[in-house]
Structure 1
């Protein structure tokens, strides 16, 4: 059950709020349509309910506001616009990545593809899907966590009649299993035909909150009201003649002996009744709110508001969704829900709730699927290997470049070698692309900044940077031996220390790009953070290191060995001094300073955002 109370969007300068004090509820087991023309505030109301828009009001999902729900993806399934995914990612890869975020097994992705009819298109890229297929994938993403509530914004917009029928068949099946469905639409006929309850908005204000029968009677379109003791017979006769004439006519059986006929007029209905000998007590044209209410029997209480009326849709193709075949996951159509008594408002729970989890429940698996789901990493690796091999051959030809710089393809005119820059680019893309194509936006709209997600990204990007550094060193060494012979390129005596420094540089650049993009939510900011290390910060550190030193750190390994309880091998001294020398270099010191500042900025922005919730 969903309860929206006092939804009011933030005021804009010299303009009324897009949504002003809207209160309604969507009941469990029913489909609720949020109806309104373009600009009426439907989408803003949904974003207010999901806490994606600034404003006032509260929305309870089975008694809990969204920020107190432990696992939002398992409580609320959301489809706002297109699928927020990288266009180069496959449909199956997108769902499997979301499975890792929601803590679901990877097999759930294949199940959802089967449910929405995309089992044969799981390997297709998101950028190649049609609008109908994109809607199906979006619905699969919303259903991935088996949520109780579905919130959909114009799910049928731009769909074909057949896809429209399939979509609402699936929504009806979800409601029939006890779920809550809330969707927006601008088509009154569609809302009256497919929804159990219609909430109408106009200029951001609540106009009406009615069941489908009352909405059809009072707020839909002109109709012919017929009262006859032979209502079923007259409905069948009108249906038969409409089909024979291939005319679009809809007959709705209200309560008792009252029929509402849409798409016809009094003269045609009167002539049909006369030809077939049907007795008519009342025949009138009605428009708008002039719909009659059933007359109560003498001595009885007035009847309650009618539940959803039984409709006989006499339209030419496409037929309404209730007469189409069931969705792929169902073997038989689900009957309409029986009338339900209005349920009382559910107050928020006062018992202690589990801590909300908004980061991926399986962050490492999620991050691996995010990195390997597209070919960007492979393209970056290929570009780095090719450019490094070309540069190392050119540097080795001149003979004036030190061997470590030749092996890492780092000429003096470049601020960073290609491998370090490529590692920084992958780090920047790991957060920047995620904000551009927010894989975690299915339920929240933004990528959460939590410690588990950050550690997973640091681990995966660090491993990728280390792999790039090792492959570049090996590839450059073999390229030089191939080009100039084995004797021309000897193996350095201190190659372990050089590899440690080289790996540290690549990993540091990757983390700088990751943290920079995470703080500013833009890939370009991460790339700028990587380039700022050698261009801006390193010269400043170099000036600071020029000052004469009166003390030396000679003998540091021996003094550290005396403080340790565990015996360390002699090579540990070399590795330790290599790390100290790396930090003593301008680029190494600048990189450490940058990482420290970026970590502090990331934690500050993350804690500040958490405090808002």
Structure 2
């Protein structure tokens, strides 16, 4: 069950709020349609329920607000727009990545692909999917964690009739299993055909809250469409004869003065009336008309007695519904008086139990009083950041290797490195470490370091461009677990790329120039540590910068800034003669450490210290320190803001 109470959006620049004191309920086992024209506040209402926008009010999902639900994906499935996935990712890869984020088994992806009719299209790229297939994939993403409640914004918009019927059939099947379904639509005929409960809003306010049968009766009443050059005279005659016969007939003059809509009559009766009075008729047809939200709300009220205008019939006759003077549900102060009842009552109402207490201690009432101005203000809605993946390492691996970009970058780095190694070894003057790393003096960084930096920048850059973890929020969750997973995976990929480059360069040189050229140097350990530190540092610099500035280009710029800007600045610093040496540092560190590492580890500590003291190593260490502090600062500031 979903209970929305007092939803009110924040005013912007003095304009009225998009949603104003909206209260309604969507019961379990029922499909509820939130109906309203474009700009009526339907999407804003959904975003307020999901705590994606600031405002006031509270929404209970089976008695709990969303921020009190430990795993929201298992409680609420959301479909807001299209799938925000990388166009090069396959449909199966997208669902498997989201499985890791939701903490469910990867086999769930194949089950849902079969359920939504995409079993044979699991290997198709998202960018090549049609609108219907994209909407099926989006529905599979919403159903991934088997949620109780589904919230969908215009799910059938732009779909063909068969696709729309299939989609609504899936929603009805979910409701039949006891779930709650709420979707928005602008088409009253679609709401009457597919929903068992219809909530109508206009200008952000509640207009009517009805069962599907009552909605069809009051909003989609049968009518007779009439066109005549003497429409005004024909309307007066039809009204006079209806009063004389004491029948409930309503005649409405449409925008065109010669067009009438007659409710409560038939084509035969209107045609006979026009023939008897000699009035020409240009059109006469039965239609199912949309009476509009205001008139439907008035028509939902029981007919009231009025004095008959015919002196021959002094008794009271029944007035046609929708006459002027009927009051709309609610009053001018924004209170909502519900016209009908939802198709399924809450479990608390059925059992007579008291509603569960809200976060501020108030009771969760399903119906708000009409005089809402005297009631206390609903609690504020704070926009909350998205939650991180439940399995961050698995999620990051599937995100990184689910697209061809990673393989392409690694392949380009390997090819460029081997080609540069062959060219550098040709003159015989380049040192062997530079030859194996493919680092000519003309380049600020070797291709392997640039590739690792680009992969690190894409780790956060693609997250902000295709926010799978934060659909509709525009931000990626700054969780420590997600950051550590990205750092670990990017470091592993950078080390693998560095190793592949050295091995490929050595094998290519042996093949081209013979085996005497490549020999293990005496300081191989120090060179290995420095090479690994360079690639991992570049990957982390790109990752942190992209996470701070939310764009891949910022990560690449941060990687290039290390040799281009920071290293020259460090080299320009005045150098004084050193009076002391760091000899014996590993031994002193062993004395301070709580756990005593073996003496063999000194062989790795000393090279690491020398790498940090090198100009490039010092510049990279300084850059990483600044970027890490900036990332933590922006993370704390974003949490305080929301």
Instruction: Say yes or no: TM over 0.5.
Output: yes
What is residue 162 of structure 1 aligned with on the other side? Answer: 162
1:568 counterpart (598, 603, 612)? 598
What is residue 366 of structure 2 aligned with on the other side? Answer: none
Instruction: Please say if 1:530 is aligned against 2:530.
Output: no
Instruction: Please say if 1:377 is aligned against 2:390.
Output: no
- The answer on whether the counterparts of 2:199 and 2:209 sit within 8 Å (CA) in structure 1 is yes
Between stretches 41-50 and 8-17, larger displacement belongs to: 8-17
Which one has the largest radius of gyration?
2
Provide runs of 4+ in structure 1 moved above 6 Å: 262-265, 269-272, 283-286, 292-296, 304-308, 337-342
- Closer, same or farther: CA 457–113 of 1 in aligned 2, 3 Å: same
Between stretches 408-417 and 199-208, larger displacement belongs to: 199-208
Distance in 2 of aligned mates of 1:589 and 1:99 = 41
Distance in 2 of aligned mates of 1:178 and 1:368 = 35
- The answer on whether the counterparts of 1:469 and 1:506 sit within 8 Å (CA) in structure 2 is yes
What is residue 100 of structure 2 aligned with on the other side? Answer: 100
Residue 387 of structure 1: how far off its partner (Å): 1.0
- Gapped regions of structure 1 (runs ≥ 5): 225-257, 273-282, 297-303, 309-336
What is residue 113 of structure 1 aligned with on the other side? Answer: 113
Map Cα deviations across residues 205-244 of structure 1 (whole Å, 9 max, x no partner). Answer: 33322222332233345537xxxxxxxxxxxxxxxxxxxx
Map Cα deviations across residues 518-572 of structure 1 (whole Å, 9 max, x no partner). Answer: 12221112112211222222222233473332221123234445667746345x3
What is residue 358 of structure 2 aligned with on the other side? Answer: 348
**TM-score when scaled to structure 2?**
0.76
- The answer on whether the counterparts of 1:71 and 1:357 sit within 8 Å (CA) in structure 2 is no
What is residue 512 of structure 2 aligned with on the other side? Answer: 483
Between stretches 1-10 and 119-128, larger displacement belongs to: 1-10
- Gapped regions of structure 2 (runs ≥ 5): 225-247, 251-260, 272-285, 305-337, 362-384
Residue 477 of structure 1: how far off its partner (Å): 1.5
What is residue 265 of structure 2 aligned with on the other side? Answer: 266
- The answer on whether the counterparts of 1:266 and 1:284 sit within 8 Å (CA) in structure 2 is no
- Closer, same or farther: CA 530–450 of 1 in aligned 2, 3 Å: same
- The answer on whether the counterparts of 2:386 and 2:473 sit within 8 Å (CA) in structure 1 is no
Counting only pairs closer than 5 Å after superposition, residues 21-32 of structure 1 correspond to structure 2 as 21-32=21-32
What is residue 47 of structure 2 aligned with on the other side? Answer: 47
Instruction: Please say if 1:552 is aligned against 2:581.
Output: yes
- Closer, same or farther: CA 556–137 of 1 in aligned 2, 3 Å: same
SS of structure 2 residue aligned to 1:139: helix
Counting only pairs closer than 5 Å after superposition, residues 168-179 of structure 1 correspond to structure 2 as 168-179=168-179
- The answer on whether the counterparts of 1:214 and 1:305 sit within 8 Å (CA) in structure 2 is no
Distance in 2 of aligned mates of 1:172 and 1:567 = 63
SS of structure 2 residue aligned to 1:198: strand
- The answer on whether the counterparts of 2:220 and 2:288 sit within 8 Å (CA) in structure 1 is no
Map Cα deviations across residues 430-463 of structure 1 (whole Å, 9 max, x no partner). Answer: 1110111112235866431211111111111110
What is residue 241 of structure 1 aligned with on the other side? Answer: none
2:454 counterpart (409, 413, 425)? 425
- Closer, same or farther: CA 594–106 of 1 in aligned 2, 3 Å: same
Between stretches 168-177 and 536-545, larger displacement belongs to: 536-545
Between stretches 207-216 and 369-378, larger displacement belongs to: 207-216
Distance in 1 of aligned mates of 2:490 and 2:265 = 73
SS of structure 2 residue aligned to 1:181: strand
- Closer, same or farther: CA 33–342 of 1 in aligned 2, 3 Å: farther
What is residue 329 of structure 1 aligned with on the other side? Answer: none
What is residue 607 of structure 1 aligned with on the other side? Answer: 636
What is residue 123 of structure 1 aligned with on the other side? Answer: 123
What is residue 500 of structure 2 aligned with on the other side? Answer: 471
Instruction: Please say if 1:90 is aligned against 2:97.
Output: no
Map Cα deviations across residues 329-349 of structure 1 (whole Å, 9 max, x no partner). Answer: xxxxxxxx7788994865336
What is residue 495 of structure 1 aligned with on the other side? Answer: 524
SS of structure 2 residue aligned to 1:200: strand
- The answer on whether the counterparts of 1:100 and 1:363 sit within 8 Å (CA) in structure 2 is yes
- Closer, same or farther: CA 417–33 of 1 in aligned 2, 3 Å: same
- The answer on whether the counterparts of 1:62 and 1:346 sit within 8 Å (CA) in structure 2 is no
- Closer, same or farther: CA 132–511 of 1 in aligned 2, 3 Å: same
- Closer, same or farther: CA 218–103 of 1 in aligned 2, 3 Å: same
Map Cα deviations across residues 160-205 of structure 1 (whole Å, 9 max, x no partner). Answer: 1111111111111111122111111010111122112222222333
Instruction: Please say if 1:441 is aligned against 2:470.
Output: yes
Distance in 2 of aligned mates of 1:507 and 1:284 = 70
